[in-house]
């Protein structure tokens, strides 16, 4: 089984695709975002270290991310990396302990990302997530689960979403070029319904 890296800007639908690939193909889904949150919640030495950086508003250094992934992965096959590697240094570090067979880049336009993410609303009481386009609440502005008021996160405001998109594309360009040069990159158009994106990704995986 292949080791796959899934790349794409926020709003490309990475999380949805990754969860379904894990379910239907049996990948071990490695999300560095989830791992970090777990380490912090369990208050492990790594979690304490990571928390310090996060509280100062700094990026968690590559070597911390790498040692976290490494303890989990350790040369296994059938891993789906989601949200990792994020930098060239992480990509090079990853190769010291696991082989990458395929890199899937979910390509989506800035307009589509803004449309998707700026329609997101969250419950200010229980944290449930809604989307005015794809998953609206039953009553406008009110949480189905707890009746709390729905709000738009600062992060989901159109101008903030557009800026995050630009930052992602700029920061990940060297990573994309690196995998492209090595013949591992497959671009999948993600400006379409999740089902079509998933089918396109599945075809690439079966090839
Ligand atoms: Zn709620």
- Residue 53 — pLDDT band, cuts 50, 70, 90? confident
Catalytic residue (choose from 14, 20, 116, 121)? 14
| Residue 160 scores a pLDDT above 70 | yes
Beta strands in 11-131 (DSSP E): 28-31, 79-82, 102-107, 120-123, 129-131
Which of 12-26, 47-61, 121-135, 184-198 is predicted with the least confidence, judged by mean pLDDT? Answer: 47-61
Tell whether 64 is covered by a domain.
Answer: yes
Domain that holds residue 72: 4-110+172-206
pLDDT, tens only, 113-152 = 999 999 999 999 999 999 998 889 999 999 999 999 999 9
Query: Rounded to whole angstroms, how far apart are CA atoms 115 and 158?
Result: 8
Tell whether 73 is covered by a domain.
Answer: yes
pTM (2 d.p.) = 0.83
- Catalytic residue list contains 164: yes
- Catalytic residue list contains 2: no
- Residue 75 — pLDDT band, cuts 50, 70, 90? low
- Catalytic residue list contains 14: yes
CA of 8 to the centre of ligand 1 (A): 29
**Domains in the chain: how many in total?**
1
Tell whether 115 is covered by a domain.
Answer: no
Tell whether 152 is covered by a domain.
Answer: no
Catalytic residue (choose from 20, 116, 121, 164)? 164
């Amino acid at each position: 089984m292949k080791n796959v890296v899934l790349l794409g800007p926020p709003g490309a639908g990475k999380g949805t695709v990754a969860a379904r690939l894990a379910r239907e193909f049996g990948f071990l889904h490695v999300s560095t975002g989830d791992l970090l949150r777990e380490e912090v919640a369990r208050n492990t030495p790594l979690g304490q270290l990571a928390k310090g950086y996060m509280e100062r508003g700094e990026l968690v250094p590559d070597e911390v991310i790498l040692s976290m992934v490494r303890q989990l992965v350790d040369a296994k096959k059938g891993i789906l990396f989601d949200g990792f590697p994020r930098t060239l240094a992480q990509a090079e570090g990853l190769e010291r302990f696991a082989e990458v067979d395929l890199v899937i880049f979910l390509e989506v336009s800035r307009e589509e990302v803004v449309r998707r993410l700026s329609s997101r609303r969250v419950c200010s009481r229980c944290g449930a997530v809604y989307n005015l386009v794809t998953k609206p609440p039953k009553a406008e502005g009110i949480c189905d689960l707890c009746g709390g008021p729905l709000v738009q996160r600062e992060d989901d405001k159109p101008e903030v979403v557009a800026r995050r998109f630009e930052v992602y594309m700029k920061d990940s360009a060297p990573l994309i070029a690196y995998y492209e040069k090595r013949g591992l990159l497959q671009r999948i158009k993600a400006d379409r319904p999740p089902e079509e994106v998933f089918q396109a990704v599945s075809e690439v995986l079966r090839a």
